[in-house]
Structure 1
Amino acid sequence: MSQWIVFGAGKGIGYDLVQYGLQQGHQVIAFIDNAKYKTQLTQIGAQVIEGDTCQYSDIKNTLPVISNNSIIFSTISGNLNIIKSAETLNMRRVLLVTSVGLR
């Protein structure tokens, strides 16, 4: 199975993606900006990384644990930094979940 990196994994769609990925047998890395979600994610089997997607250095520091065959899911802001990091690894699969344009 593949490796999934889920940005915004602490709640909502991000958390649902983590659960689904683990149920399907994928290795899931959960990127969170709030430590209060760490225990819950660790208990269900996710590897957890804490950081701020609006800080490129936080995203860049995750590169050593990400392979270029990984799939990135982002449900939060800071997508430009996530995309830059994906380009660094020549990754081809990035899914951005956004509500841009909703009123």
Structure 2
Amino acid sequence: MSRYLITGANRGIGLELTRQILAQGHQVVATCRNPGEAGELNTLTNAGELQVVQCDIGKPDDIAALVESLHGSTIDVLINNAGIYGPRDAVLGNLSREPWREVMEIDLLAPMMLTQALLPFVLAGEGKHIAFLSSKMGSIADNSSGGSYMYRTAKAALNQAIKSLAMDLREQNIIALSLHPGWVRTEMGGPNGLIDTATSAAGLLNVIAEAVPSDSGQFIAYDGKRIPW
């Protein structure tokens, strides 16, 4: 039995990841901003070993409280899933600083600060996997349509941070992965997504499970395909 910690576990891909991991018989520490409003997540409490913890990853005090609640425990797999897209009308000519800062805060700074805070727990675990849900939209080589300035830049910056993390932690046998979940039919991805959350989550978990040290620092899609930076 492994112990996972998943951020943003109350909906979409995070919720489905939690559901599938529990079904495999593992333990999950599932974080979200408002556990009292996470109806579907709370219904999973009898599906396995689930601990729902309040944590807004954008708030340092919440991260500190999460660290305190985990005292004496370990994490085998850390999945940084929580993220935001930003305003849909943030197109060239209508860009503004504060919304852009918020996207960078939640999609880049928050997961990196959380990972830094939780690193001792991962090092003490057996799995030693840290996965980040990035996006193909963060690929500079793949950008052929433009737009989505806030989301694209945040994910591109996150990818660079993950690459550095992988290099810095390779001697400690940590596997750090940048993962593309696919275009998923979720609240963020919209109704026209190509795959459902079950397909995405199953693929992501398979990539994580099969990852070896040489995969650390790589940009990988849910179906195992490598994505150009």
State the TM bucket, normalised to the shorter chain: 0.7 to 0.9
1:13-44 CA deviation, whole Å, 9 max, x = no partner? Answer: 1111100110000111110013311x422221
Residues 101 and 15 of structure 1, relative CA distance in 2, 3 Å threshold: same
Higher helix share: 2
The SS at the match of 1:62 is helix
Contact kept, 8 Å, 2:55 with 2:66, in 1: the verdict is: no
Corresponding position of 1:80: 112
2:127 is equivalent to residue 95 of structure 1 = no
Query: Whole-Å Cα distance in 2 between the matches of residues 28 and 89 of structure 1?
Result: 14
Taking only aligned residues, the RMSD between alpha carbons, in angstroms, comes to: 2.1
Match status 1:57 vs 2:52: no
Deviations 1:61-90 (A, max 9, x none): 222426334311111232122111122435
Quick one: distance in 1 between partners of 2:11 and 2:56? Answer: 15
Q: What is aligned with 2:18?
A: 18
> Which structure has the higher relative contact order (CA within 8 Å, separation 6+)?
1
Contact 2:122 2:129 survives alignment (8 Å): no
Bigger Cα displacement from structure 2, 55-64 vs 6-15: 55-64
Q: Give the 3 Å change call, closer, same or farther, for CA 24–90 of structure 1 in structure 2.
A: closer
Partners of 1:83 and 1:71 lie apart in 2 by: 11
Q: Which runs of 5+ in 2 are unaligned?
A: 83-105, 140-147, 149-229
Gaps of 5+ in 1: none
Q: Residue type of the partner of 1:82?
A: L
**Structure 2 CA distance for aligned equivalents of residues 19 and 40 of structure 1:** 10
Stretch deviating more after TM superposition (45-54 or 22-31): 45-54
Q: Percent identity?
A: 25
Q: Which of 70, 74, 86 is matched with 2:76 structurally?
A: 70
Could you tell me how far apart the structure 2 residues matched to 1:44 and 1:27 are?
A: 12
Give the Cα–Cα distance (whole angstroms) in 2 for the partners of residues 49 and 32 of structure 1.
Answer: 7
Q: How many pairs align?
A: 102
C-alpha separation in 1, matches of 2:66 and 2:129? 17
Give how far 1:8 is off.
0.7
